[in-house]
């Protein structure tokens, strides 16, 4: 049986698949009403609509808006048109529209509401707003003007020009419109209807006709005509009033319904138009109170539209209270009912063959990477309903129509809704109508339905392919190209081989394997012709402009090195980003990176990870790669699997380079969009490069140490880790010698500060030193470097044992160096100082953990100290420091002795502090001790230290004996006695001039003896004589002092008596007398109390000076009194006058103090006489003093 004979209705009948709201042919309307399918969803919508609409028949309402939303395939435009038929209810071939729905609705209540609504006189104005809108209507009141236009046309007026319609209405209201039309036709020789657009060219005829048909004079008509364009006073209020006037002119319950198709698409994102619609509907609602209804369709629901607009349109929601949302799910129900309904026998036949054909079909119809709603047949019932179509096509075709409208520049022409789908299915069924049972309609069969609406950039590609001689061998190529175009913008259906094989199926008996082979060959041909491109597994249709850009992209040359560098970045920054390979919990290893022999970054590590792509290994055999790794430190990874990552990466670099060369601002919007899509393509390709590279690593071959490895791991990272682990084990083959690890600097510090003493306590073996084998390696290396007279630093040890074949970490090496230090196998010198565990812990940590300081730490092989030398050292230490025992180990012994020396030096320094400003004996001995002990420092190695101690034994012992005398001096009363002697000498030196003048033999003898003791460097046996000499000095001095005090008091008493006599005269104030008493009483007291002989002399001078000053005061007081009493008789006019007394030292009168000859005596006396006479001539009384 052929396919066209299976259908219940003739597949070739005219069903007017495309809905056009303007079509009003009675036969067409009849067919539309008769074949309209009321689905379950539509029954609900009819019920909701009529419940609200019928209410306005009985009572006023301002909720008179209906918002019908639905995307492509939902049938909203058709639903709107059917409502216009039902509400208007004009007879169609003698049958009311509502009568067609009595059986379709099958609900008495809903049908009753439909009858009720149809019983009211109703005019319906159905229009597509985009089609009715003039291009000039871009202002904020564009919707108002469209409503006004269709309202005028409905009333028989010329809607395209408000001025003309205003004139027509004026004449109509006056009852003169027919007269006007008749006169115009007489004058213009053409009917008025249909020729209103000639308005401005028929001015004279219109003026005459207007004057003839109205009460206007010709001048008035001419004046009106000249100003007609100036009177554009259209407002929403005036329009609503005009509508209300029209309704009022009809029967009492007359209704007017505006049915507006695609209002949402017309408004778009123009908030002004949305506001205009809101105000129009609101005003019509408040003025007409339910007598006017507005029904609109939109792809979006009103809530979504308002949300997107972002402004306050809440009032419009109240007007559009009835909201009907049509889904696309019922489209297949309509199609199955109107197109695919089968004859009963055919239905049963198809159900019967499905059990046999079902498994084959399910195997043929399968998608990869698509949602579950793209599928084959569920069962025999569905097979019987849908055949020869496949269930996935219902959903897919709706999406294709929608996306073609958006992206194929066809949307504004491609009809929407189920009727477009209906047409597509009918035409596809007609195309395959003569095929035998078993045929399946492929996706490309729908192409012809939409081709007439496609943009030339699409059709040129398809037509060009049809005429391409390279593709003329098989129409399969062009059909495949059509399929690729149709799914180009359908993200849910990626264009991979599996999906394309399903979409292009033409028969249930097709062999899918053969089909895929044909697909692959055809796809390659299409790629060669630049009609499609491959993006990973996906094949993509290219428009004309996309082909142009692709050709330009493909002409770009990419350097192979750029591809390698880009792949290298993915491999070593993403797939395997580790910069160190973690071999174990204790060890991580740096490794060098390279891809196709191109090195990446610094090449300083001991092992190499070398990855080879298909660019460099296509002709290399396993044996060659094994040989390359022989005696090397390389892990070679030859990538396996799909090598298309190279092609993908090259394509990425070409696109990116192309984008960099082009200035986006210079490109058309279409090309900008293409390049933006290319950027998304780049992201996808880059993701694929990464995935392909990772998969290639999983399937790679690994080579190391001359072997082809068997690596484990389910991920790329695990496989590389396994390979590197093998490489490390075989490259760092002495790594296992280290069994005990130092994991942190804290652990190292703890090891340094621990009290274990090395081999002196335990024998070195595996039990006491787990790392004994590794330590032996270090010790042997130090021995070898020492024999070669090379300096060995800690850094050198780190560098040597941190590389192949050891690979030990620095902390582990440091720990073993600590063990060797403790075991006295090596010495460590740092900044000229030998470090030890007891005193140099901070320095040891610095050397072992600071890279800079490790280069300063010098390691020396330790020499064993002779036992005899050790014995001598112990003996000297016991003698010198009076100790019983020293540590047994060399370092401990040296540290112990050094500590004793340091203590001794500190003791010396303590004694030296007592010498500050004191001339005590023994200072040079102390300094000698410091000098001797400074020879011993931790800058010396043990052997040198001990030998020097033996060498200096005699000097040290002798010094120590002398030091005991110094200690005895400070620890007995000798220091106090010495201080007393120093005090006497200091007094003598302070008063030396006095003592020289006295020339006291007793004092001079005692002083000389004291000086002899004090200045003796070793006075200790003579210090006992100091007390007697001090006593002699003090006794003699006291006698001299007493004599001086007596003479001074005589002088002070003489001055005192003189002043007392003078002050007894009349005229001297009591104040002066008191001053004299107080001063000389004080002077006399001070002379008695002082022990300072110079003070005694000074007081006699003070007395003389004070006497002179007071005598002057007395003279002035008496002169004052004399002046005051100069007129009184009998008052004496003479005043006692005394000469000033001057104390003079003989030594100050003459210079010479040394007399050797008689002439010297003569000269001395003459000079003394002259000076004495000089003072007498000055009216002074001379008082000679010592």
Check the CA dihedral 1169-1175-1178-1181 and report its sign: negative
> In this structure, what are the phi and psi dihedrals at residue 96, rounded to the nearest 5 degrees?
-70, 140
- Rounded CA-CA distance 86/450 in Å is 31
Q: Which residues pair with 257 in a beta bridge?
A: 124, 293
- Rounded CA-CA distance 808/799 in Å is 9
> In this structure, what are the phi and psi dihedrals at residue 325, rounded to the nearest 5 degrees?
-115, 115
Q: Are 492 and 370 in contact (CB under 8 A)?
A: yes
- Rounded CA-CA distance 32/19 in Å is 9
- The confidence score (pLDDT) of residue 1077 equals 92
- Rounded CA-CA distance 482/541 in Å is 9
> In this structure, what are the phi and psi dihedrals at residue 89, rounded to the nearest 5 degrees?
55, 35
- Rounded CA-CA distance 1036/1002 in Å is 7
- The confidence score (pLDDT) of residue 767 equals 64
3-state secondary structure at position 939: coil
**Prior bond of 388 cis (ω within 30°):** yes
- The confidence score (pLDDT) of residue 925 equals 87
3-state secondary structure at position 582: strand
Q: In Å, how far from its chain's centre is CA 11?
A: 66
Q: Are 876 and 949 in contact (CB under 8 A)?
A: yes
Q: Which residues pair with 540 in a beta bridge?
A: 533
Mean pLDDT in order along the chain per 10 residues (1186 residues): 93 70 74 90 95 93 92 83 95 95 92 95 94 71 93 92 88 91 92 88 90 89 82 86 94 94 86 90 94 92 62 65 82 84 94 93 91 89 95 90 70 46 90 95 93 83 93 94 94 94 95 95 95 90 90 93 96 95 92 94 92 83 90 93 92 94 85 89 94 95 94 93 95 94 94 69 63 94 92 95 94 95 89 86 94 94 80 84 79 84 90 85 88 85 84 88 84 85 80 68 83 85 86 82 87 89 89 92 90 83 89 89 72 52 65 73 77 70 67
The end-to-end CA distance of the chain, in Å, is: 169
- The confidence score (pLDDT) of residue 762 equals 45
Task: State both tokens at 798.
Answer: 């780190």
Task: State both tokens at 978.
Answer: 């010495």
- The confidence score (pLDDT) of residue 963 equals 86
Q: Are 522 and 451 in contact (CB under 8 A)?
A: no
Cross-sheet strand order for the sheet of 833-834: 792-793, 857-861, 826-830, 833-834
- The confidence score (pLDDT) of residue 108 equals 93
Type and span of the H or E element at 147: helix 142-154
In this structure, the number of other CB atoms found within 10 A of the CB of residue 416 comes to 27
Location of structure tokens 């005692």: 1006
- Cα–Cα separations (whole angstroms), residue 783 to 776, 792, 847, 934: 10, 10, 21, 32
What is the four-CA torsion angle of 351, 355, 356, 358, rounded to 10 degrees?
90
Location of structure tokens 């006593």: 1031
Q: Are 297 and 84 in contact (CB under 8 A)?
A: no
* Buried-exposed string 876-895: b where 16+ CB fall within 10 A, e elsewhere: bbeebbeeeebeebbbbbbb
Q: Are 262 and 129 in contact (CB under 8 A)?
A: yes
Please spell the DSSP secondary structure of 495-511, one letter per residue. --HHHHHHHT--BTT--
- The confidence score (pLDDT) of residue 790 equals 93
- Rounded CA-CA distance 1037/998 in Å is 10
The whole-model pTM stands at 0.58
Q: What is the CATH number of domain 40-141+234-327?
A: 3.40.50
C-beta pairs of 542-548 under 8 Å, 24+ apart in sequence: 542/461, 543/457, 543/458, 543/461, 544/456, 544/457, 544/460, 544/461, 545/457, 545/670, 545/671, 545/674, 546/674, 547/461
Q: Are 813 and 848 in contact (CB under 8 A)?
A: no
Check the CA dihedral 1168-1173-1178-1182 and report its sign: positive
Every domain of the chain and the residues it spans: 40-141+234-327, 162-233, 331-542, 560-710, 732-861, 867-971, 979-1124, 1141-1185
Location of structure tokens 């298909």: 614
């Amino acid at each position: 049986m052929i396919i066209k004979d299976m259908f219940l209705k003739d597949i070739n009948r005219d069903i007017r698949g495309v809905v056009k709201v303007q079509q009003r042919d009675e036969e067409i309307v009849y067919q539309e009403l008769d074949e309209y399918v009321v689905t379950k969803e539509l029954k609900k919508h009819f019920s909701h609509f009529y419940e609200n609409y019928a209410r306005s028949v009985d009572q006023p309402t301002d909720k008179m808006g209906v918002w019908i939303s639905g995307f492509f395939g939902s049938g909203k435009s058709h639903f709107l048109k059917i409502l216009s038929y039902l509400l208007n209810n004009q007879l169609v071939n003698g049958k009311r529209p509502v009568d067609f729905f009595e059986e379709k609705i099958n609900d008495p209540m809903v049908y009753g509401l439909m009858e009720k609504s149809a019983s009211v006189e109703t005019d319906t104005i159905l229009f597509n707003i985009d089609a009715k809108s003039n291009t000039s209507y871009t202002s904020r009141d564009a919707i108002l003007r469209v409503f006004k236009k269709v309202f005028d046309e409905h009333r028989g007026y010329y809607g395209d020009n408000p001025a003309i319609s205003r004139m027509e209405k004026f004449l109509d209201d006056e009852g003169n419109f027919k007269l006007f039309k008749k006169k115009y036709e007489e004058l213009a020789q053409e009917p008025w209807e249909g020729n209103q657009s000639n308005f401005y060219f028929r001015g004279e005829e219109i003026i005459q006709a207007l004057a003839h048909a109205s009460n206007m004079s010709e001048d008035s008509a001419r004046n009106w005509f000249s100003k007609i364009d100036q009177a554009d006073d259209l407002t929403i209020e005036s329009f609503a009033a005009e509508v209300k006037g029209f309704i009022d002119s009809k029967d009492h319950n007359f209704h007017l319904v505006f049915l507006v198709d695609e209002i949402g698409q017309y408004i778009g994102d123009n908030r002004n138009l949305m506001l205009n619609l809101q105000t129009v509907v609101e005003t019509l609602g408040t003025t007409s109170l339910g007598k006017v209804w507005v029904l609109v369709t939109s792809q979006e629901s009103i809530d979504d539209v308002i949300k997107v607009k972002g402004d306050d349109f809440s009032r419009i929601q109240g007007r559009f209270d009835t909201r009907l949302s049509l889904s696309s799910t019922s489209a297949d129900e309509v199609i199955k009912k109107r197109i695919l309904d089968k004859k009963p026998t055919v239905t049963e036949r198809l159900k019967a063959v499905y059990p046999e054909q079902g498994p084959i079909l399910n195997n043929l119809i399968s998608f990869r990477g698509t949602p579950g709603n793209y599928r084959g047949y569920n069962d025999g019932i569905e097979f019987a309903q849908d055949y020869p179509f496949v269930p996935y096509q219902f959903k897919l075709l709706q999406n294709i129509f929608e996306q073609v409208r958006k992206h194929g520049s066809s949307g504004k022409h491609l009809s929407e809704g189920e009727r477009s789908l209906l047409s597509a299915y009918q035409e596809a069924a007609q195309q395959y109508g003569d095929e035998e049972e078993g045929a399946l309609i492929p996706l490309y069969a729908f192409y012809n339905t939409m081709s007439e609406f496609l943009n030339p950039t699409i059709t040129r590609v398809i037509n060009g392919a049809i005429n391409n001689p390279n593709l003329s061998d098989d129409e399969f190529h062009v059909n495949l190209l059509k399929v690729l175009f149709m799914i180009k913008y359908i993200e849910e259906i990626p264009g991979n081989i599996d999906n394309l094989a399903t979409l292009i199926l033409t028969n249930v008996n097709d062999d899918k394997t053969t089909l895929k082979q044909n697909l692959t060959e055809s796809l390659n041909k299409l790629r060669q012709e630049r009609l499609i491109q491959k993006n990973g597994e996906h094949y993509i249709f290219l428009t004309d402009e996309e082909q142009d850009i692709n050709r330009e992209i493909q002409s770009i040359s990419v350097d192979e090195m750029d591809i390698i560098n880009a792949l290298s970045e993915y491999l070593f920054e993403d797939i395997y980003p580790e910069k160190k390979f973690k071999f174990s919990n204790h060890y991580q290893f740096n490794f060098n990176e390279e891809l196709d022999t191109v090195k990446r970054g610094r090449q300083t590590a001991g092992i190499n990870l070398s990855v080879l792509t298909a660019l460099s290994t296509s002709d290399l055999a396993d044996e060659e790669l094994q040989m390359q790794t022989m005696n090397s430190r390389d892990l070679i990874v030859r990538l396996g699997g799909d090598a298309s990552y190279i092609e993908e990466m090259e394509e990425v670099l070409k696109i990116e380079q192309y984008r960099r060369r082009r200035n986006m601002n210079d490109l058309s919007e279409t090309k900008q969009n293409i390049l933006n899509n290319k950027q998304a393509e780049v992201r996808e390709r880059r993701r694929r490069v990464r995935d392909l590279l990772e998969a290639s690593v999983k399937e790679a071959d690994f080579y190391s140490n001359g072997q082809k490895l068997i690596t484990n791991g389910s991920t790329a990272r695990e496989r590389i880790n396994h390979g590197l682990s093998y490489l490390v084990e075989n490259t760092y083959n002495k790594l296992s010698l280290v069994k005990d690890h130092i994991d942190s600097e804290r652990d190292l510090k703890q090891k340094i500060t621990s009290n274990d003493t090395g081999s002196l306590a335990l024998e070195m073996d595996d039990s006491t030193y787990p790392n004994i084998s590794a330590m032996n390696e270090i010790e042997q290396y130090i021995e070898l470097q020492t024999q070669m007279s090379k300096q060995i630093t800690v850094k050198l040890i780190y560098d040597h044992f941190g590389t192949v074949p050891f690979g030990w970490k620095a902390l582990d090496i440091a720990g073993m160096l600590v063990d060797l230090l403790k075991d006295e196998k090596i010495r460590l010198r740092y900044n000229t100082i030998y470090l030890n565990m007891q005193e140099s812990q901070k320095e040891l940590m610095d050397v072992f953990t600071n890279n800079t300081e490790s280069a300063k730490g010098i390691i020396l092989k330790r020499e064993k100290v002779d036992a005899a030398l050790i014995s001598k050292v112990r003996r000297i230490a016991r003698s010198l420091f009076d100790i019983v025992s020293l540590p047994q180990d060399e370092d401990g012994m040296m540290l112990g002795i050094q500590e004793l020396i340091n203590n001794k030096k500190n003791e010396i320094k303590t004694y030296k502090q007592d010498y500050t400003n004191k001339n005590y004996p023994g200072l040079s001995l102390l300094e000698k001790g410091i000098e001797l002990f400074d020879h011993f420092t931790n800058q010396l190695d043990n052997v040198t230290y001990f030998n020097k101690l033996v060498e200096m034994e005699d000097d040290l012992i002798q010094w120590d004996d002398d030091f005991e005398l110094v200690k005895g001096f400070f620890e007995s009363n000798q220091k106090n006695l010495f201080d007393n002697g120093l005090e006497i000498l200091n007094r003598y030196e302070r008063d030396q001039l006095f003592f020289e003048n006295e020339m006291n033999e007793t004092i001079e003898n005692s002083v000389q003896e004291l000086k002899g003791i004090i200045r003796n460097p070793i006075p200790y046996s003579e210090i006992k004589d100091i007390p007697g000499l001090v006593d002699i000095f003090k006794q003699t001095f006291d006698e001299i002092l007493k004599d001086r005090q007596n003479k001074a008091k005589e002088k002070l008493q003489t001055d005192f008596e003189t002043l007392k006599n003078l002050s007894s005269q009349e005229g001297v104030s009591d104040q002066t007398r008191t001053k004299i008493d107080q001063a000389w009483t004080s002077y006399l007291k001070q002379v008695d109390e002082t022990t300072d002989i110079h003070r005694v002399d000074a007081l006699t001078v003070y007395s003389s000076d004070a006497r002179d000053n007071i005598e002057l005061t007395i003279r002035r007081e008496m002169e004052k009194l004399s002046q005051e009493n100069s007129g009184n008789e009998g008052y004496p006019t003479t005043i006692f006058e005394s000469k000033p007394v001057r104390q003079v030292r003989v030594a100050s009168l003459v210079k010479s103090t040394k007399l050797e000859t008689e002439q010297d005596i003569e000269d001395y006396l003459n000079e003394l006489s002259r000076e004495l006479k000089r003072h007498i001539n000055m009216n002074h009384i001379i008082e000679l003093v010592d």
